[in-house]
């Protein structure tokens, strides 16, 4: 036992000396705080150079003042906040994909940035609607209160050389991407072709080195219902009789507990080359596979999202389908017009396809068109009859929002209070609408931010809106909204959709071949190959199940509806052909699509590829030979027999004696 001699000695030993020891110890961070982007020393200069080079090419030199002001505003925010690296990494990825022949679709609000367009990250032009010449020697801005998209501008010719002018611009404020002060960390999400996604991921290793890029980890936790099941199992196994409150207490304690780790399907984390991943997180191999090509962060990526750069490199069907259509048709998707009358008519009627509503059981021609093919969105089209790009953009925004359409915009349109062009369809439209009414830009931004998050409008802002002449129905609509889609995201989606719709109208056989090869995964090739009556019968069979239909049958219904449309347009489907079918792709032969092997129920990709490989080695001598060399099971052989695939083929190999 230590005896302390007086208060002074006690304070020295208990208070002063421990403080001195603490002061001698450096600050220790188990996990680094702060933001550590990759080291790209010339990023700021390169972003600026690329931006102005493209701007001068598109809009001439000197630039119109409104365009130069927008560029300077954005570059100031991007460079002063250290965001240049994020933009440049995205530029590198998109440029690589485009060079390799695959378009990239942008997601989220990145299309709100003019700089993102000019350096090649997005195809969405955020400027107000305008005309520009292909040579960059003429620019003319339109009234944004009359036209919300440059794609809707009427045809006009250059007063300089008489060439047709290009309509461009979707009037998207930069504030919706980086905030009103331009200091919000940008989140650039990109949709790569699903086929190209692994190459895009690996390209990150080429850019930054294998030891500096990692797949983002995820953590799965125990869900409410699972935790409740654990509590009930505990009660049962221990022969207890617990009250409901105790069961709830035990379940609450287990809810949210880490259950397993996983790998984000798209997220790639980049560590600066002068640091190590261990400065931020431990790492692991997925499924403890030491031979895996990617290592994964052990910490959930949300935990270190603000410390190191994460790029979301997603896989999507639209770029894959467009690449397939481009390869088959030879038509560059960039040359497809966004105001083609035939394509636009699809959204009101199937007449341009040469079929009636009754034949295809749809009042529009948008079956299989991304964003516009579901029953819900087709219902929206039937109520609104959109006629141009900006109205389609509204439909896209309304279909992705929460409490934006049902009980809100749809009622305003039905009652004749508003139309598809004037209702609130996207978050950005709130800001631009209010500015057009005369509300101050910062107030318009703050109102937009509150409304898009479902927080309504304060009394102070309501007064400002009324003073500017904003109608009451508009204010009431703001209060109903729970979530709103970004205009830039909708613009990018509609752009891809119209390209695919163009092929559907003018290159139907190529469209159906691409659709069934890329987007569809569930088939009934027996019904499809037997023609219209069989296909329609299967459609009715699934519809009669109503809500009791399984998810698989609902997915099949979509495929059969598009197959029915193709049949009504005069195209046929063929059962798999042992010597013509591909393993995965639908083959065009005249007006017939030949089914691939993997469309057969229960026949997977590996067996499909094995059949094709065995076929390349030589003709199948018998059913026995096919089963052995192709790895085809008895069940699949029975399917082939029942559907005439093996007609004329002997059961066993014939032994030649002479």
Same domain, 445 and 539: no
pTM for the whole structure: 0.89
Same domain, 293 and 340: no
Same domain, 122 and 216: no
**Distance between CA atoms of 318 and 320, rounded to whole angstroms?**
5
CATH of the domain at 237: 3.30.1900.20
pLDDT per residue as tens digits for the range 319-346? 999 999 999 999 999 999 999 999 999 9
For the cut 60, the answer to whether the pLDDT of residue 2 exceeds it is: no
In the numeric block, which tokens belong to residue 181? 């002060």
Same domain, 169 and 210: no
Provide the residue range defining the domain that includes 527.
512-642
Evaluate whether residue 327 is within a structural domain.
Answer: no
- pLDDT band of 29, cuts 50, 70, 90: confident
Same domain, 345 and 436: yes
| Whether the Cβ atoms of residue 134 and residue 163 lie closer than 8 Å to each other | yes
Mean pLDDT of 304-315: 88
Phi, psi torsion values for 577, nearest 5 degrees = -115, 125
Phi, psi torsion values for 379, nearest 5 degrees = -65, -40
For the cut 50, the answer to whether the pLDDT of residue 533 exceeds it is: yes
**Distance between CA atoms of 637 and 619, rounded to whole angstroms?**
17
Predicted pLDDT of residue 656: 46
| Whether the Cβ atoms of residue 327 and residue 510 lie closer than 8 Å to each other | no
Evaluate whether residue 37 is within a structural domain.
Answer: no
Domain boundary residue among 178, 204, 229? 178
Same domain, 427 and 349: yes
- For 414-439, letters b (16+ CB in 10 Å) and e give eeeebebbbbbbbbbbbbbbbbebeb
Evaluate whether residue 55 is within a structural domain.
Answer: yes
CATH of the domain at 605: 1.10.150.870
Domain boundary residue among 318, 353, 371? 318
Phi, psi torsion values for 182, nearest 5 degrees = 70, 25
pLDDT per residue as tens digits for the range 188-236? 889 999 999 999 999 999 999 999 999 998 888 999 999 999 999 999 9
Evaluate whether residue 11 is within a structural domain.
Answer: no
The answer to whether the bond into 62 is cis (omega within 30° of 0) is: yes
Same domain, 302 and 344: no
What is the full DSSP assignment across 478-535? Answer: HHH-SB---HHHHHHHHHHHHHHHHHHHH-HHHHHHHIIIII-----HHHHHT-HHHH
pLDDT per residue as tens digits for the range 48-89? 999 999 999 999 999 999 999 999 999 999 999 999 999 999
Evaluate whether residue 605 is within a structural domain.
Answer: yes
**Distance between CA atoms of 601 and 58, rounded to whole angstroms?**
52
**In the chain, % of residues over pLDDT 90:** 83
Give the number of domains in the chain. Answer: 4
Mean pLDDT of 472-484: 96
Evaluate whether residue 14 is within a structural domain.
Answer: no
- pLDDT band of 18, cuts 50, 70, 90: confident
For tokens 């915009």, the residue is 409
Same domain, 400 and 466: yes
Predicted pLDDT of residue 187: 83
Same domain, 86 and 208: no
- pLDDT band of 657, cuts 50, 70, 90: very low
When mean pLDDT is compared across 23-27, 42-46, 264-268, 534-538, the lowest value belongs to: 23-27
- pLDDT band of 440, cuts 50, 70, 90: very high
CATH of the domain at 401: 1.10.150.700
For the cut 50, the answer to whether the pLDDT of residue 658 exceeds it is: no
For tokens 């031979």, the residue is 291
Mean pLDDT of 134-139: 95
Evaluate whether residue 653 is within a structural domain.
Answer: no
Domain boundary residue among 128, 147, 178? 178
In the numeric block, which tokens belong to residue 476? 């009431």
Same domain, 300 and 260: yes
| Whether the Cβ atoms of residue 131 and residue 165 lie closer than 8 Å to each other | yes
- pLDDT band of 560, cuts 50, 70, 90: very high
| Whether the Cβ atoms of residue 197 and residue 294 lie closer than 8 Å to each other | no
Predicted pLDDT of residue 74: 95
Mean pLDDT for the chain?
93
For the cut 80, the answer to whether the pLDDT of residue 173 exceeds it is: yes
For the cut 90, the answer to whether the pLDDT of residue 303 exceeds it is: no
More confident of the two residues 5 and 557: 557
Phi-psi region of 564 (alpha: psi -120 to 50; beta: other; left: phi over 0): alpha
Evaluate whether residue 357 is within a structural domain.
Answer: yes
Phi-psi region of 618 (alpha: psi -120 to 50; beta: other; left: phi over 0): left
**Distance between CA atoms of 369 and 173, rounded to whole angstroms?**
28
Same domain, 525 and 428: no
Same domain, 453 and 565: no
**Distance between CA atoms of 567 and 574, rounded to whole angstroms?**
12
Which residues neighbour 41 within 8 Å (Cβ) at sequence distance 6 or greater? none
């Amino acid at each position: 036992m230590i005896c302390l001699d007086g208060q002074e000695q006690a304070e020295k030993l208990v208070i002063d000396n421990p403080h001195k020891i603490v002061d001698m110890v450096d600050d220790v961070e188990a996990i680094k705080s702060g933001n550590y982007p990759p080291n790209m020393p010339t990023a700021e200069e390169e972003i600026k150079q690329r931006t102005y080079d493209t701007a001068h090419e598109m809009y001439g030199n000197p630039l119109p003042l409104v365009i130069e002001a927008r560029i300077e505003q954005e570059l100031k925010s991007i460079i002063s906040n250290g965001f240049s690296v994020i933009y440049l990494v995205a530029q590198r990825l998109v440029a690589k994909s485009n060079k390799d022949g695959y378009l990239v679709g942008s997601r989220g609000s990145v299309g709100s940035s003019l700089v993102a367009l000019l350096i090649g990250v997005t195809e969405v032009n955020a400027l107000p609607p305008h005309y520009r010449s292909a040579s960059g020697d003429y620019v003319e801005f339109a009234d944004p209160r009359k036209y919300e998209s440059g794609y809707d501008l009427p045809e006009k010719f250059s007063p300089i050389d008489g060439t047709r002018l290009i309509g461009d611009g979707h009037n998207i404020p930069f504030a919706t991407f980086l905030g009103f002060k331009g200091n919000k960390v940008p989140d650039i999400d990109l949709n790569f072709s699903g086929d190209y996604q692994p190459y895009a991921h690996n390209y990150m290793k080429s850019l930054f080195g294998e030891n500096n890029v990692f797949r983002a980890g995820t953590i799965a936790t125990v869900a409410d219902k699972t935790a409740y099941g654990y509590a009930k199992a505990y009660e049962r196994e221990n022969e207890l009789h617990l009250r409901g409150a105790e069961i709830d207490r035990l379940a609450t304690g287990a809810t949210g507990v880490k259950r397993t780790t996983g790998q984000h399907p798209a997220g790639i984390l980049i560590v600066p080359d002068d640091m190590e991943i261990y400065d931020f997180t431990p790492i692991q191999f997925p499924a403890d596979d030491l031979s895996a090509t990617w290592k994964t962060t052990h910490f959930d990526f949300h935990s270190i999202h603000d410390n190191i750069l994460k790029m979301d490199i997603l896989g999507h069907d639209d770029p894959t389908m467009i690449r397939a259509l481009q390869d088959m048709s030879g038509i560059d998707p960039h040359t497809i017009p966004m105001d083609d009358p035939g394509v636009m008519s699809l959204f009101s009627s199937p007449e341009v396809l040469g079929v009636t509503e009754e034949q295809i059981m749809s009042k529009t021609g948008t079956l299989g068109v991304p964003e516009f093919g579901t029953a819900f969105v087709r219902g929206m089209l039937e109520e609104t009859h959109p006629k141009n790009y900006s109205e389609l953009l509204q439909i896209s925004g309304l279909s992705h929002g929460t409490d934006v359409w049902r009980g809100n915009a749809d009622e305003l349109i039905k009652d004749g209070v508003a139309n598809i062009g004037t209702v609130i369809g996207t978050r950005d439209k709130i800001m631009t609408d209010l500015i057009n009414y005369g509300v101050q830009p910062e107030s318009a931004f703050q109102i937009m931010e509150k409304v898009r998050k479902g927080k309504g409008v304060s009394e102070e802002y309501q007064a400002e809106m009324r003073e500017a002449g904003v109608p009451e129905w508009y204010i009431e609509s703001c209060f109903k909204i729970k979530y709103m889609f970004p205009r830039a995201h909708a613009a990018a989606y509609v752009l891809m959709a119209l390209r695919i719709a163009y092929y559907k109208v003018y290159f139907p056989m190529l469209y159906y071949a691409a659709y069934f090869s890329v987007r569809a995964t569930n088939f009934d090739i027996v019904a499809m190959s037997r023609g219209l009556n069989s296909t329609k019968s299967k459609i009715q069979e699934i519809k009669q199940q109503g809500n009791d239909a399984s998810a698989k049958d609902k997915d099949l219904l979509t495929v059969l509806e598009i197959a029915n449309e193709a049949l009504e347009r005069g195209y046929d489907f063929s059962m798999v052909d042992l010597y013509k079918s591909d393993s995965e792709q639908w083959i065009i032969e005249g007006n017939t699509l030949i089914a691939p092997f993997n469309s057969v129920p229960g026949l997977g990709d590996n067996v499909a590829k094995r059949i094709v490989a065995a076929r390349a080695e030589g003709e199948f001598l018998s059913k026995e030979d096919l089963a052995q060399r192709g790895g085809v099971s008895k069940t699949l052989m029975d399917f082939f027999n029942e559907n005439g695939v093996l007609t004329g083929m002997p059961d066993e190999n014939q032994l030649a004696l002479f």
